[in-house]
Amino acid sequence: MSFVINRFSVCFLVFFTTLALNTNAEVAGPCRRAVTLVQRAQEANRPADKEELFEQALELCTEMPEIHYNYGLFLSDEGEYRKAREEFLAAKEKEDRLEYRLAIARTFLAEKQLSEATDWYNGVLEQDRLHPAALQGLAIIAERSGDTEKATSLLDKAISLDPNDPVAHYNLGVIYEKRGLIEEAILQYEKANSIDPKHIASLFRSGLLLVKQGAISRAVVAFEKAADVDATDPRIFRALGVTYERLGRLQKAELAFRKALALDVSDDISRANLGLVLVRMKKPSQVIELFELQLVEKKEQLSVESCLALALASKDLGEYSEAEEFLRMGFKKDPKDKRLIDGFIGLYRESGEGEKEEKFEKLREELK
């Protein structure tokens, strides 16, 4: 059976660097209390609590650029790039530091305003012509503008200046992957992981490429490490489920897909994959139960994989008419899917409908 892992595009990483707050003795009165509030904000779990604490800190002390900067970092993490830029600009007005210029450039890059981002990165290079983070930013811009050779050259230069930056290796891996240079991409992702074992994006991307190469055991290791780092991303557990299934570790595959669904109940890809695993595990009743809500609320939206799982489970339960209905639903979506054609052949062979079986056997021959 063919399982689906991922439908997410490969993307670059743009990291914002945390800046330490000034806690020296000369920071007194309201500003010292503001520093305490910022530290509490950085430790808070809920975004709403973080934002409230940052705003309270700024009410007490607007003159410390670090407060504006760290508030901007929080806003960037929340995808509020315009608001973040306002805070970074406020920090820069109080003290013109390269970190603030870089942060402003990154907000423009995150919003795909490439011209503005280029200007700000070049402004950093005017002060430090070998600044690796600025070179990385310009490399991403070059790639997005279609100049992959320039992008590769800039990232190579950034890595030569700072070889221990995992993000630079990751971004170079992205460029290689987009160019179809899979071995080179995997090497860069693995370099990023050797520098930072918790670099989740590199673990995930290397795992996907290893699956593409058929190196399933190595892919499992990458995905398991990713799951240890982030146990909240359903895509990781979906990928784990697929790799476990390909290795024949069906119980682990079942657990991984169920974990993905527990994290995201709308993950129809994991639901379909789980259904196919349960078919292999001879648990047809659980397959029907798995799709109970979908059969009521969005039966017509079921994927080909979901239709196949339901058809095979229904056949195993001896419900041939239901199995045929699900196969026809899937066949309507993709009449060239060989798994469905094999499903029809198996169903009609078991139900003794020789003419129908022969029809689909001929179709299978035509598609070879």
In which band, very low, low, confident or very high, does the pLDDT at 4 lie, cut at 50, 70 and 90?
Answer: very low
Can you list the domains of the chain with their CATH numbers?
A: 1-138 (1.25.40.10), 282-368 (1.25.40.10)
106-125 core/surface letters (b: 16 or more CB in 10 A; e: else) = bbbbbeeeeeebbebbeebe
Q: Of 209, 261, 268, which Cα lies nearest the Cα of 237?
A: 261
Cβ contacts of 332 within 8 Å, gap of 6 or more = none
Residue 221's Cβ-count burial label (10 Å; 0-12, 13-18, 19+) is: middle
DSSP one-letter string for 247-261: TT-HHHHHHHHHHHH
Query: Can you give the pLDDT at residue 368?
Result: 81
> What are the pLDDT digits (tens) for 301-332?
999 999 999 999 999 999 999 999 999 999 99
Query: Can you give the pLDDT at residue 31?
Result: 87
Residue 305's Cβ-count burial label (10 Å; 0-12, 13-18, 19+) is: buried
Q: Which two tokens stand for residue 335?
A: 């009449």
Residue 166 has pLDDT above 90, yes or no: yes
> What are the pLDDT digits (tens) for 183-213?
999 999 999 999 999 999 999 999 999 999 9
Residue 177 has pLDDT above 60, yes or no: yes
Residue 162 has pLDDT above 60, yes or no: yes
Query: Can you give the pLDDT at residue 10?
Result: 45
In which band, very low, low, confident or very high, does the pLDDT at 28 lie, cut at 50, 70 and 90?
Answer: low
> What are the pLDDT digits (tens) for 55-73?
999 999 999 999 999 999 9
Answer yes or no: are the C-beta atoms of 340 and 321 closer than 8 Å. Answer: no
SS3 of the chain: helix, strand, coil, percent, to 5: 75, 0, 25
Query: Can you give the pLDDT at residue 1?
Result: 46
Nearest 5°: the CA angle 297, 256, 79 is 75
Average confidence score pLDDT of the chain: 91
